[in-house]
Structure 1
Amino acid sequence: MGAIISLQDVNFNYEKTKRKVLKGVNITINEGEFVVITGPTGAGKTTLCETLNGVIPNFIKGDLTGTITVDGLDASKTPVYQMASKIGLVFQDPDTQLFGMTVEEDLAFGPANLGLSYEEVMRRVERSYTDLKIGELKDRKPFELSGGQKQSVSIGGVYAMLPKIIVFDEPTSMLDPIGKERVFSIVKDINKQYGITIVLV
């Protein structure tokens, strides 16, 4: 399998600052790989994640140079909604990604916004329940869940978009050991069993 993510000489500084958060970044990630990116706080890991799905520079402004190609698309020039069908992003704090009254609403939100039929949306929701083993949470309210359960639902919402790539930005930093184990188990499964490319920060 060939490269699904390619960054060539990527540099970025935020608007109104001169300090380069990303400097001369070159990365190639092949389809189906599980890649871990490490570094100290402030090293630019989150910034890097936000360039992959086009949030930088489409929503967060600054000076971006170099080439970022994700599954054949130029991430800096492709609308974010279009990138969302290729690459999903799971954040540190699951509460920033959960806003439905039930788990099912949260899982259905992304696919519904793609303009899919109700039947296709529900097919994807059921797939998330089954593949991620979160069916027992189906009728629960997100705010009642544990941290690990919330993050599992956040992953399920991204997974329901059927992206080829999922980027995890420190997804366990706010979780207890049980929550961390649950999330890592899901991440490993979707890579090994379903071939989704994983970038774990």
Structure 2
Amino acid sequence: MGAADLRAAAPPGRRLMAAGRTPRWTSGEEPKPDIIVKLAVFLACAVFCLSIPARQWLGWRAAQSYVAVPVEMRKLEKEAYSYKGRLEYRYHVEYEYEVAGRAYRSSKMFLMDDFPTGQPRACLYESLRQAHEAHAPIMAWVDPEKPANALLDREAYDDPMYFIFAGIALAVLLGTAAYYFVPCQPKPARKRLQRLNRSW
């Protein structure tokens, strides 16, 4: 019995399933620009969530070659503000240092200006305050090749939430891609198949 005979012998529902499967990408059920926008949004979310750990790791690798240089604190302030009904703090630092007889000034605390926040920033501020009040030496890490680049803490701080959000975005991206690109029954064929299945 040939392939044509097998298809003819198959129940109507199975023959329809074998013949009518097309991806939603080409079925016209939803415009292609809308599909592309959805996939791009989930991809952008995943890239954004992974960019912060990636920048942390790259910055940490570069900072391992920095040298310790004594600094003189020019500003060390804690600013209180209200955020969503709770008290938060901003920390402002400014310090001066010399490299090869030339003076530099910086306000950078960590590898990234906007990360980490919360407890690590508060702990660094407190240690700086105590050292400053005790007139103890305070050291900064300075790039020997570009002395204008300096920071007070060269450790990398990971936030598991970024990996969780990136994983969710990637899972939704893959699920959405599978939904649109895996072959499926067109809407009229699906309705006809449902009627045939009920009749069987």
TM-score (norm 1): 0.19
More helix by share: 2
Greater relative contact order (CA < 8 Å, ≥ 6 in sequence): 2
* CA radius of gyration, larger in: 2
